[in-house]
Amino acid sequence: MNVRGERECRDCGGRWSYYETGSIECPDCGSVRSVGLEGRATHTDTPASLDLAPHRDRFGDARKTLPADGVADLKRDLREYLRKRGFISGGELRPLDGTVIAARELLEAVDVYDRLREPTDADREYLLALLAGADDGERPAATEVPGSMREARGSAAARIVSEYRDDFLTFLDELASPAGSDPDADPTVSVAGEEGTARIEPARELLERVRDRTKRMSALQGDVDPTVADALIEAANATGAYVRTGDTEALDRARSLLDGADA
């Protein structure tokens, strides 16, 4: 959606950034009577934090099976966090950050672990490692993923990249037609450097390849080599870096990653 970033309270005159708070409520007096002061910008992200400490305390003593109420609470918190997160903030395309990626994988891993008839110590250690680092954007390396958890790694990559691609295409649409139907309107998105619109078609071509790889990965229910799943995320992020900066090395890297994934 296109929103005005800076807001002013009509009651107390306080000013704040909607992009930082995600709210029209004045942080000074609590009034919801506010007005936008600047031009609109495309914005899909909402400020959100992820605190998994309570879940770590609960799951730390679990052995073969997970506490049912704990699983439900963990899934609820992960879904709420992921629901709020988007990839365009104040007209700027953001990269896929580590916390979003790890949170999605943890959500998938909990489901996979819960379906295992005889989870191994390696399965449990992997799940707990995700739980230990997800809120800081950390997750185990691809080489540490147990065979039974490949599905979680791949499914997480396919889902999160698909969501990123949706926002990315919205960004490119806005970049292509910054004024829309109003020739006097200000651009709603921005990139660094000149010739930003020249980056649109190369990015679209790569995103089409990303879509094909995502569909194949989903059809396999995520059961792919974890390095392939990670390469898909890296390719999406490299494509984003190219559009933001015009860096052709990022463009070449995205192509190389997708070539490797297709091999």
Q: Which domains, and CATH codes, for the chain?
A: 2-38 (2.20.28), 42-263 (no CATH)
Residue 8 has what pLDDT?
86
Residue 6 has what pLDDT?
85
Q: What is the DSSP letter of 197?
A: G
pTM of the predicted model over 0.85? yes
Where do runs of H (alpha helix) occur along the chain? 18-21, 53-59, 68-84, 98-115, 121-133, 150-176, 200-219, 226-245, 248-262
User: Is the pLDDT confidence value at 217 over 80?
Assistant: yes
User: Is the pLDDT confidence value at 50 over 80?
Assistant: yes
User: Is the pLDDT confidence value at 111 over 70?
Assistant: yes
Q: Of 114 and 260, which is predicted with more confidence?
A: 114
**Among 114-123, 126-135, 183-192, 195-204, which stretch is predicted with the lowest mean pLDDT?**
183-192
Show the CA angle centred on residue 68, arms to residues 65 and 70, nearest 5°. 100
